[in-house]
Structure 1
Amino acid sequence: MLQKTTKLFLTTVAAIATINTIELPQAPNTSHSWLKPQQEVQARSSGGRSGGGSFKKGSSGSSSRSSSGSSSSSSGSGSSRGSSTPSRSHNNSSTYYNNSRNYSTSTTYYSGGSGGAGIFFGVVFFGIFGIILFAIVYSTLKSAFSGNSNDNNSTAYSRERDNDIVTISRLQIALLALATDVQSGLTELSLRVDTSTEEGLQELLQESVLILLRSSEYWTHHVNSSQKINIDQAEAKFNSLSLEERSKLSSETLSNIEGNIKEKSVISPDDESAMYIVVTLLVGTAHDKPLFEDIRTPDDLKEALNSLGSMPSDYLLKFELMWSPQTENDSLSYDEFISEYSNMIDLI
């Protein structure tokens, strides 16, 4: 009996030990740290986008440039016609001068012994009308040379603006997460402007440049590119660059493309590891050469932004503004930043 009890006891102990060594699968715990960062990534990598325009000829932008070009030609023709007017004035004045001189001579003839007075009045008339004649000739020549110079500048301007060469530029800036005014400012701007019009597109570019310049103390990194390209290839190239940047976003929580506004709600958890905001300017212009090349310092970056902001309206063909994250409550963590924007370099 004792032997059976001992054997049963040993068997029980062995069974318990075997059960303890077996690891049973457990359901995933939603509070685990590996899931929480993924949720934050989805929220923080959302972004905003606004813009419009087109490289296609016959669009509203091209039509307006053609119209402005025609206006320039008309004004140039007007200048040519205007420059001929001083020539006629010159001839009239010469005739008037000759008549006056004949009058002075005849006066001297009839005055008899007053030869000294006639000579005096002749010198006075000659001096006065000589000065007038010189002023007319000088003004005519100056107007002619100035008109030629303006016509040359206008021709060069029209040639660059209306030919088949365009430039596509990308300027991307990373800022510290403290620059929350950038996100709120770009959101308000994108909701306000009408990106389906040339005026709205110009305002979007200028105001976004101003917002970035006002937060220059928060700049940390940048990347830029600018290249000229045939207008037939420009649309595809621009869209390719746009898709490349948009692919870095989990979703676009705000967009205003060609005046079509779309919004999505986003829940933004607070995160002490949040560090960066990234703003991208993608610009298509009528320039025949790159807008910028080597940007190393904040001053270089300011110069590039000022160049974009002061661009003539008839040179701006297409523009897209993108920023991530979209709301001021979000920002990219360091790991997200170096993962999605690994090509950005430090500002010196």
Structure 2
Amino acid sequence: MKALRKPAMVAVLLGLLLMSDPNLALAASGGRVGGSSFSSRSSSSSSSSRSYSVPRTPGSRPGFSYSAPYYAPSPFGFGGGGGGFYMGPAFGFGVGAGSSFFLILTGFAAFVLVSGFLSDRSEGSVLTATEKTSVLKLQVGLLGMGRTLQRDLNRIAETADTSTPDGLGYVLTETTLALLRHPDYCISGYSSVALKRGIEDAEKRFNQLSIEERGKFDEETLVNVNNIRKQSSTSRSANGFRNEYIVITILVAAEGVHKLPAINGSGDLKEALQKLGSIPSNKIMAVEVLWTPQNETDTLSERELLEDYPLLRPL
């Protein structure tokens, strides 16, 4: 009996706790809509990568070429036109005065340095600018009175074709417009931007952010990702004596360099939403919009808001 006394007391206390606040016993709903085209972009990028071919000479085997050394008159030979020995058509050396040989070496070294510098400039500035991918995150906290935003997001998730770039552009544009139309409900915000050099790094970062946000839901009750759909009726009743909030998170991966302002006021939030909504569809690699609560009868308390979304800053 003594061994069972403590577990029994714990069970009774837990039951009383759940009875006093029934919202704690039920799952918090979350919505998710979007998709990605990382795999198709990666394959097209690899297929369009630069290739180099070795020039063939008549009679040579395919894929293999060489140039044999030959003799030619050297301007630096003995006796004003003596014979010189060249290793190929690109450069050579002759048996001549020491100063002439030094000039050839100096010229060759300068050529190598200039070529390397130009190569570094082209690879480092032009190519990397086009290869960079921006992973952007914008998070907005709203008053629970903004139920119309929940309806807008539910409608977008139910109707969007999330398997195409145009469909992802539609999701992004409609979400940003819904928030821009209801600025009075927005009370806090947060933004971040990560620049990644390769598609794989961008995909990894995007997935990390998505998993982090999805882990804050007890259940995803409305999902439309890459046209894979799921809907559940699980919900919990709102308590009229508790503060209610809504949190919407927008994740975007896009080709090129994109920036978002730090969110310190309503003006910054408006600018960030406009920049996200204006990203061309052909630059979008991935979009996800996540929001909680998804069901209009659910509630997000102030304690949950502060614990799960500590980076949000008041506007």
Shared fold (TM-score greater than 0.5)? yes
Q: Structure 1 residue aligned with 2:194, among 227, 243, 248?
A: 227
Question: For structure 1, which segment, 292-301 or 318-327, has the greater mean C-alpha deviation from structure 2 after superposition?
Answer: 292-301
Report the aligned-residue RMSD.
2.7
User: How do residues 1-348 of structure 1 correspond to structure 2 at under 5 angstroms?
Assistant: 28=12, 32=16, 34-36=17-19, 39-41=22-24, 43=26, 45-58=28-41, 163-231=130-198, 232-272=200-240, 273-288=242-257, 290-347=258-315
Give the superposition deviation at 1:339.
1.2
Query: Cα deviations across residues 207-244 of structure 1 (Å, max 9, x unaligned)?
Result: 01111111110111111101211223111111011101
Query: Cα deviations across residues 261-304 of structure 1 (Å, max 9, x unaligned)?
Result: 1011113213121411000000001122x411322110111011
**Structure showing greater Rg:** 1
Contact 1:168 1:234 in 2 (8 A): yes
Tell me the TM-score normalised to structure 1 length: 0.60
Question: For structure 1, which segment, 253-262 or 45-54, has the greater mean C-alpha deviation from structure 2 after superposition?
Answer: 45-54
- 318 and 58 in structure 1: CA distance in 2 versus 1, 3 angstrom threshold: closer
Give the superposition deviation at 1:161.
10
What is the rounded CA distance, in whole Å, between the counterparts of 2:209 and 2:201 in structure 1?
13
Contact 1:275 1:334 in 2 (8 A): yes
What is the rounded CA distance, in whole Å, between the counterparts of 1:38 and 1:160 in structure 2?
58
Percent identity of equivalent pairs: 35
- Secondary structure in 1 aligned to 2:272? helix
Give the superposition deviation at 1:58.
4.2
- 299 and 264 in structure 1: CA distance in 2 versus 1, 3 angstrom threshold: same
Tell me the TM-score normalised to structure 2 length: 0.66
What is the rounded CA distance, in whole Å, between the counterparts of 1:160 and 1:184 in structure 2?
43
Contact 1:51 1:257 in 2 (8 A): yes
- Secondary structure in 2 aligned to 1:328? coil
Contact 1:44 1:330 in 2 (8 A): no
- What residue identity is the alignment partner of 1:195? T
- Secondary structure in 2 aligned to 1:331? coil
What is the rounded CA distance, in whole Å, between the counterparts of 2:14 and 2:221 in structure 1?
25
Contact 2:244 2:300 in 1 (8 A): yes
Give the superposition deviation at 1:41.
3.8
- 166 and 264 in structure 1: CA distance in 2 versus 1, 3 angstrom threshold: same
- 267 and 312 in structure 1: CA distance in 2 versus 1, 3 angstrom threshold: closer
Specify every segment of 5 or more residues in structure 1 that has no aligned partner in the other structure, as ranges.
1-22, 67-158
